[in-house]
């Protein structure tokens, strides 16, 4: 079983559109034995918007712990206030001479627990979201939802990927396609871990080229073999040239270029991959060529 992770240094490059199109193409042109999909962008999971999944399994995600004060035990001494570096301990708005912990500000460090002379504070494990196994027309999709303001997105990405991998192994599915999150922080690293091939979707804009360099360095650090595809390639030819020069310098293969095409966002609005809704469009032809190249690369890895 192989893992292909699709990443971009920034949002808005068309990564999820291409991932959805790959899912469609894999279902009609191989990979033989199908694919499993993992949406690793748990902060803003969008793959489900294009793939119309039907939920088959929903599981609560319990993450870190936050401090809570028992008002019946708190004597209002204030010992917990100065130890909190996050200014999370406040006067209780509902009870006189009691303290209260703001759950949004609390970082879960537990320093206040040790400072409290009456043992009024305890750490309480929090539910931070859900993860799902869903059926789509193109394969099983693992995805997640992180509650607003919650942390541990890297942990949730790992959980989504682990379950996708286990499902693929159990059902002898040869390929997991991972739609990675934008940026270069913790969830991206979780998305990269263990991948056999990383496809970077680069956009020929100033920000796109800057962020391409950052994601390339991140993937190189974690020793994920990389290839590049340039999306919206016709919006800035000089930018395409810069991306190609960067790729040459770093010995990274550029697999192809996808033109800017309003049919891509249009098909997303309709909830379908562009290759399914508009199979003869220029963008669909380019993405099909891209998929065929990726499939030949990942097969022997
Ligand atoms: S657990 Fe840490 S961050 Fe949270 S209230 Fe206590 S000291 Fe502050
Ligand atoms: S240290 Fe304990 S008793 Fe004192 S204010 Fe804080 S929670 Fe209340």
What are 156-199's pLDDT values in tens digits? 999 999 999 999 999 999 999 999 888 777 888 888 888 999 99
Helix (H), strand (E) at residue 67: strand 54-69
Q: Ligand 2 centroid to 67 CA: how many Å?
A: 12
DSSP, residue by residue, 220-266: HHTT--EEEEEESGGG-HHHHHHHHHHHHHTT-EEEEEE---THHHH
> Is 30 a residue whose pLDDT tops 70?
no
Q: C-alpha 32: how far from its chain's center?
A: 26
Q: Would the CB of 101 count as within 6 Å of ligand 1?
A: yes
Residue whose CA lies nearest to ligand 1 atom number 7: 84
Residue 295 dihedral angles phi and psi, to the nearest 5°: -60, -40
User: What is the CATH number that goes with domain 64-127?
Assistant: 3.30.70.20
> Is 246 a residue whose pLDDT tops 60?
yes
Pocket test for ligand 1, best of 99, 105, 107 (most atoms within 8 A of CB): 107
Domain ranges of the chain: 2-52+137-298, 64-127
Number of H helices, E strands in the chain: 11, 11
Tokens representing residue 208 in the block: 């796109």
Question: What mean pLDDT is predicted for residues 256-261?
Answer: 96
Q: Ligand 2 centroid to 74 CA: how many Å?
A: 5
Q: Give the position, in ligand 2's atom list, of the atom nearest the Cα of 112.
A: 1
pTM score > 0.95 for this model? no
Q: Would the CB of 137 count as within 6 Å of ligand 1?
A: no
Label residue 33 by pLDDT band (50, 70, 90): low
Q: Which CATH superfamily is domain 2-52+137-298 in?
A: P-loop containing nucleotide triphosphate hydrolases (3.40.50.300)
Read off the DSSP letter of residue 147: P
Ranges 3-12, 69-78, 146-155, most confident: 69-78
C-alpha angle 16-19-25 in degrees, rounded to nearest 5? 145
User: How many other β-carbons are positioned within 10 Å of the β-carbon of residue 153?
Assistant: 23
> Is 249 a residue whose pLDDT tops 90?
yes
**Averaged pLDDT score across all residues of the chain:** 92
């Amino acid at each position: 079983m192989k893992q292909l992770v699709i990443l971009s240094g920034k949002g808005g490059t068309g990564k999820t559109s291409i991932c959805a199109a790959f899912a469609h193409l894999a279902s009609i042109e191989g990979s033989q034995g199908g694919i499993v999909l993992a949406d690793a962008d748990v902060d803003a999971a969008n793959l489900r918007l294009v793939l119309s999944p039907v939920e088959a399994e929903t599981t609560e995600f319990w993450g870190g712990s936050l401090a809570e004060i028992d008002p019946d035990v708190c004597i209002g001494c204030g010992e917990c206030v100065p130890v909190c570096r996050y200014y999370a301990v406040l006067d209780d708005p509902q009870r006189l001479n009691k303290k209260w912990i703001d759950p949004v500000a609390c970082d879960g460090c537990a320093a206040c627990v040790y400072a409290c002379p009456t043992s009024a504070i305890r750490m309480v494990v929090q539910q931070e979201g859900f993860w799902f196994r869903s059926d789509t027309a193109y394969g099983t999709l693992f995805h997640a939802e992180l509650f607003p303001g919650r942390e541990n997105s890297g942990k949730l990405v790992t959980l989504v990927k682990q379950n996708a991998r286990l499902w693929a192994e159990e059902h002898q599915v040869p390929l997991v396609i991972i739609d990675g999150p934008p940026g270069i922080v913790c969830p991206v690293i979780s998305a990269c871990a263990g991948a056999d091939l990383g496809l970077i979707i680069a956009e020929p804009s100033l920000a796109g080229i800057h962020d391409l360099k950052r994601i390339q360095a991140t993937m190189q650090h974690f020793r994920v073999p990389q290839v590049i595809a340039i999306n919206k390639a016709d919006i800035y030819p000089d930018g395409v040239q810069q991306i190609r020069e960067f790729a040459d310098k770093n010995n990274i293969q550029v697999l192809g270029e996808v033109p800017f095409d309003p049919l891509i966002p249009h098909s997303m609005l309709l909830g379908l991959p562009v290759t399914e809704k508009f199979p003869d469009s220029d963008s669909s032809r380019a993405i099909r060529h891209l998929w065929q190249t990726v499939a030949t690369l990942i097969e022997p890895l």
